[in-house]
Amino acid sequence: MALTRELNELVCRYDKYAELHRSAAMRDLERSVCGCAYGSTSWTTRREAERIAQLLELRPAAKLLDVGAGTGWPGLYLAELTGCDVVVVDLPLGGLRLALERAAADSLSQRCEVVAADGAALPFKDASFDALSHSDVLCCTPDKLGVLRSCRRIARDGARMVFTVIALTPLLADSERRTAIASGPTFVDSPDDYAVLFDQSGWCMQERTDITAEVLQSMRTELEGMQGSAEALAKALGSGEFAERTKRRQATIAAVDAGLLRRELFVARTG
């Protein structure tokens, strides 16, 4: 699969994270923020995953696609929780290998498939999934509309999609906008509001919930955890990476606190 320069950079970044997040120090930090440890890179906590399972009405034999699932979060957990079948998709192979190992360790191999693919060009038949999820993926990918259209094509009639995303607050002044873009995920800036992207991709938006307060709490818990385990984390990540992450987390918290960035949870259905 030939990837654009942007997607190649993304693959390198998330492969590096998958490796770094395997250390005991990073797993402890993740557990303190998220409630479990899969090597996750989104802000979806265990509690939020349970909410997603309900919103998607997951049940045994339902077929779920988790796009941009990294090392398997939250797709594998959703399958374990509800008994559904799951396909986890992402591009970096290092993360997908860990997802496969985790599926085997959790006795999910029979109900889980791991596929390397671009979320904007999903290699599945039309109308083949009952439920779709993605956690903070659209703010980390350049072609948001492409991903939503690809998801729509493979969704069955009546299928649901639930996702979380970090976005710029509307109507920012130019200087605020620059700060928000510099402090948020790599592709936080969207050409249109997500409500417009739903229309353009053939999804019907059912719910839109502001979950900024929850993510701000998680970010603060993470920063406190980083400061409390600075020595172990600097050893696990390397001191340069640890210093860079601390600076970045402080900048993101400041931008969220100042109302420049928000995180939302969306629920959509096929028309």
Ligand X SMILES: C[S@@+](CC[C@H](N)C(=O)[O-])C[C@H]1O[C@@H](n2cnc3c(N)ncnc32)[C@H](O)[C@@H]1O
Return residues touching ligand X (CB under 6 A).
Answer: 10, 14, 40-42, 44, 68-70, 73, 89-92, 118-120, 135-137, 140-141
We find the least distance from the C-beta atom of residue 34 to ligand X, in angstroms, to be: 9
> Which residue sits closest to ligand X, CB atoms considered?
68
Q: Cβ 54 to ligand X, closest distance in Å?
A: 18
For ligand X, the closer CB: 27 or 176 = 27
| Closest approach of ligand X to the CB of residue 41, in Å | 4
The residue (of 70 and 225) whose beta carbon lies closer to ligand X is: 70
Q: Which tokens is 118 given?
A: 């671009």
Cβ of residue 121: shortest distance to ligand X, in angstroms?
8
CB of 1 or CB of 173, closer to ligand X: 1
User: Is the CB of 97 or the CB of 230 nearer to ligand X?
Assistant: 97
